[in-house]
Structure 1
Amino acid sequence: MSRETSAIDYGSMMHDAMRGLIARILRDVARDGLPGDHHFFISFNTQHPGVDIADWLRERYPDDMTIVLQHWFDALEVTDAGFSVTLNFGDSPEPLVIPFDALRTFVDPSVEFGLRFEERGETETIDHDDVVEEAPFAEVEPEEDAPRKEAEVVSLDKFRK
């Protein structure tokens, strides 16, 4: 491969690093539980290969689904490829298997941290303010004495040609 035709795929490398970060966080939670007020909103593509959810959930969420890991979840297991967890849907525990490649967003509103994964072929530039407004959760009010911080949302489109 010549240097003129090859390029470093920073986008893929960043996605891999971000997925590795999420895997590390989830492994810690599987081992030790959620610390403090931390909780996660995780959205994923329900049509992605390897996603294993109940048929009724796939019918209800044909493209995207957002899950919350907070008060009740069970059997959280993390592999290099993804994670599985059992969540309660209306008093009906349902196991879910979610590959990391299916993730679209990972948000921890307790510390205003979020990651957003862009699918290959998406060319729309994402405005930081738009991402924050579209977050699938109520705005977290800071404590009275705490200074307000900007949310950390990572979008890789800025770095792509």
Structure 2
Amino acid sequence: MVKKAVYAGTFDPFTNGHDDILKRALNLFDEITVLIAVSPSKVPLFSVEQRTEMLEEHFKDESRVKVDSWDGLLVDYAKKKSIDTIIRGLRPTGDFEVEFQMASMNNKLYPEIETVFLMTEGQNYYISSSLVKEVYKHDGDVSEFVPNVINSWLKKA
């Protein structure tokens, strides 16, 4: 049986922290879907289509990673795709309470779903998409915070 998981976020942009969580999750699962969540409350730097394209390019050599997008509840996507595990990364910045609440709600809505938390590694704990966007918008160098493919897209934007 194939062990599948979903790793969801807006990924605007996808950072080295996200990449680290995903690569370590591949040690636990046979297939992971990177799910680009459409959030009506956020103003993205890149469109869903652009984020999909850049992540497909970034993971082109990793057949166990799928890229998709969804504008509904994560648990509905998981049910539809027969996925029973959600991957979430935790930073030492107060993430736990919010993530615990979200995992509890997801489990209430879909009792078969399990959330697996992976701790962010030390060199990435302070990185967030929001901070990367802030540095980028002020013409700062973000190359050490994002994968090369993502940095190329940022340079073209």
TM-score for both structures, normalised by structure 1: 0.30
Structure with the bigger percentage of strand: 1
Structure with the bigger percentage of helix: 2
| Bigger Rg, structure 1 or 2 | 1
* Higher RCO, 1 vs 2 (CA within 8 Å, ≥6 residues apart): 2
